Structure 1
């Protein structure tokens, strides 16, 4: 049996039952569902501080991918919490705009100088859908072209209808969304030519992705785009008269303070930010060229666009959190810190995997600030069973790691502890490979992909 056989989470198991009784799926994000973890080993969190979280069973973990990549400074970061507390004492939502909205917008645009205007929201889906709506309005075109190699853009129908979880979405809506491959300019031009004059926008993450998309197996090794690709995409969008949208939910701040567009030097028409922007507080942003963004405003003579209008989109404490995050990134060089921590972790994990003889099966991929891992079977194919084995061993060793996406709160001790846990997990992984059957180490059903048609 597995070395982690005695590890159990009875209170978390009971808490998961409570969650499922009152919340569909047992969580408010499908990626946080207990089906993403080994059976009966899905910790329910009590609290977190820095790079650590504690579950309701009293176990402490080194945590990665915190808040689905949103908590990049660590939990309860003092600078962010102080800014939030200060605004909470002054009120958080009024019948007219707060001066904080101007201050936050000015700081955002100073940090992301490739954008000329910005509007804040509470989640990334609202921002990306607003970008799509705006693109359709200004071009008069119905179709949206999404990058098929990036796994998620929005909870709204125009995107979710293209995934296996398309129940409840009319085919007429889905038919208006088409897909293009990342890194392939010729294929993208063929798509635009085939739908000549119909595509309102191209929307993609500006960097390569490292996780399975809803439509495919792992396609990209992640990291930087091929030289000239984004510039070529910019030229294609201009020539075909469509809007270029960068989804910077992940790349924003983690690639550079100004996002991937700041790092690669290609300016989109519109871009969306979130996740790291609030360090766990709910704030997202749609930014872009003034000529487009003003169509959602009051100072133009064209038909009005219902761009973004949210009751809670500009809560002062969330905008204060965003300003504290932006200031901390710039003043403390957080992006460079994330890269340095990620590099140390990647080297350690690769050495541990190689030392256990599974270097071709436990594979770290992606930019250092945004590392993920692949778990491959005997034939070097992605395996949910081996992912289950790996996660189970990490949990037992006190590492909560659905990915290896780092926060700046991780220190050398945390990284060393993680590498030790990986080494232990890889030793078990080797045994399973030698047995050609990971089943004895799973402890139950394998973890599941988020996007699937049936439960």
Structure 2
């Protein structure tokens, strides 16, 4: 399966995965159900198709084992097939998963969630993050009577729905009139946000943003947004899909002490099972219910939104996080990994080119060329070397299932990749190490 690669180290060959990818593309547009999982995100012919996972490891259909990062696009934060979560799911599967009326599990899950996120008064569950964020936007428009949505333009993704996708390079099929109702503000800049709200005075229904990202919020920033939203009469929405549980069990709002009107959770909430949540203040959430005197808002109504086994998974995840200190463990593992990667990169003379960024529980990496500019070519080189060493890492986002030995092995593989990276920088041309087309960004206009 292996062969020499530019005289460096052995390279993977994935014949079964390659054939499976052809089958995927023949039947599924894009070859995956999430664009971020597409084979265009990986070096050519080196996109493994997964057979199964256990803890922090996954196996592909070519029988290769990998240490995995960014598991399930950050959703599997406890590791694959976590025993406590799986047991909770199995118990509910034997009792039925969906009924013509609410299950008692729904109120138990709501009580558990609101105990974990005490800044919210009400919660409604769904299956994916996009449904939750779009419901938040619809609710904000309804309670304010305003048409415009202000998104943080520095954050990469909010929803698959038109109000957001129309602002991306993949806007085909979305009417311009829809896109025109979405405006953007820069993260960390209160003056620019106030100028936007003043320009569209009494038109902006909500400010929606990830409360934190690759860097900590500037001092006073989130509190300043809270004040701006109150003063201009718009709804403040925190997208906590990523920050939820990874920043604290109660998300960024629990860590930084700034309470939004609405917030959305997902990803880590179900440890891979499909569950998301829209939560918020009672007076903002209740128009989506039955106990008010105003116009009804079609908030969220999903056949599968309250499947009992997914809600059971969410309750087990929350219990595990609180009882086992999972958030602290994620930070400790991330700190160990970040220090190791930075030391390895610096030791091989590429410390300015392979850059680890983000909160320790949510690390990503940047690959920079000889001019210190972001480079898809150098990212391709780096990913190929990681894969060759048995590390599947589109990011360095950790799960709590990783061991110290996993981290140490990852750092060894990173060091091997850094040695090749240095040679490519010295040649000022990574092409000989690519063996095919470079990886591509998800959001682009043309294939």
Q: Aligned runs of 1:415-426 on 2, under 5 Å?
A: 415-426=407-418
CA displacement at 1:354 relative to structure 2: 0.4
Out of 295, 313, 328, the residue aligned to residue 320 of structure 2 is: 328
Residues 24-423 of structure 1 mapped to structure 2, 5 A cutoff: 24-208=29-213, 222-423=214-415
1:214 corresponding residue in structure 2: none
Deviation at 1:162, TM superposition (A): 0.2
Q: Per-residue displacement from partner, 1:39-86 (whole Å, max 9, x unpaired)?
A: 000000000000000000000000000000000000000000000000
**Cα distance change of structure 1 residues 2 and 319 upon mapping to structure 2, 3 Å threshold:** farther
Report deviation, 1:3: 2.5
Distance (whole Å) between structure 1 residues aligned to residue 340 and residue 225 of structure 2: 36
Question: TM-score, with normalisation over the residues of structure 2?
Answer: 0.98
Residue 21 in 1 paired to residue 26 in 2?
yes
| Alignment CA distance shift 1:149-1:2 (3 Å) | farther
In 1: Cα distance, 2:297 partner to 2:215 partner:
35
Name the CA shift for 1:59/1:233 in 2 (closer, same or farther; >3 Å).
Answer: same
Tell me the TM-score normalised to structure 1 length.
Answer: 0.97
C-alpha distance in 2 between matches for 1:340 and 1:191 = 39
Q: Separation in 1 of the partners of 2:190 and 2:115?
A: 32
Distance across 2 between alignment mates of 1:290 and 1:239: 20
Q: Counterpart of 1:215?
A: none
**SS of structure 2 residue aligned to 1:43:** coil
Note the C-alpha offset of 1:300. 0.2
| CA offsets 1:353-374 (integer angstroms, 9 cap, x no match) | 0011000000000000000000
Paired residues in the alignment total: 442
Following superposition, the deviation at residue 6 of structure 1 comes to 3.8
- Whether the 8 Å contact between 1:2 and 1:440 is mirrored in structure 2 is no
How much is the aligned-residue C-alpha RMSD, in angstroms? 0.6
Q: Per the alignment, do residues 147 and 123 of structure 1 end up closer, same or farther by CA in structure 2, a change over 3 Å counting?
A: same
Deviations 1:74-117 (Å, cap 9, x if unpaired)? Answer: 00000000000000000000000000000000000000000000
Where does residue 218 of structure 1 map in the other structure? Answer: none
By how many angstroms is 1:410 displaced? 0.2
Unaligned segments of structure 2, at least 5 residues:
1-5
Residues 153 and 159, structure 1, Cα contact 8 Å, conserved in 2? yes
Distance in 1, Cα, partners of 2:256 & 2:264? 16
Q: Tell me, in whole angstroms, the C-alpha distance in 2 between the residues paired with 1:420 and 1:274.
A: 33
Structure 1 stretches of at least 4 aligned residues deviating more than 4 Å after TM superposition: none
What are the ranges of 5 or more consecutive residues in structure 1 without an aligned counterpart? 209-221
User: Which residue is equivalent to 1:216?
Assistant: none
Offset at residue 2 of structure 1 (A): 5.6
1:223 to partner: Cα distance: 2.7
Contact 1:183–1:229 (Cα < 8 Å) also in 2: yes
- Aligned mates of 2:54, 2:8 — CA distance in 1: 29
Are the counterparts in 2 of residues 2 and 441 from structure 1 also a CA contact under 8 Å?
no
- Taking the aligned partners of 1:352 and 1:412, their CA distance within structure 2 comes to 16
Deviation at 1:235, TM superposition (A): 0.2
Q: CA deviation at 1:224?
A: 1.4
Tell me the alpha carbon deviations over residues 138-179 of structure 1, each in whole angstroms, 9 at most, x when there is no partner.
000000000000000000000000000000000000000000
Query: What whole-Å deviation, never above 9, does each CA across 1:266-300 have from its counterpart, x for those lacking one?
Result: 00000000000000000000000000111000000
Q: Is the Cα contact below 8 Å between 1:36 and 1:449 reproduced in 2? A: yes
Q: Which residue of 1 aligns with 2:3?
A: none
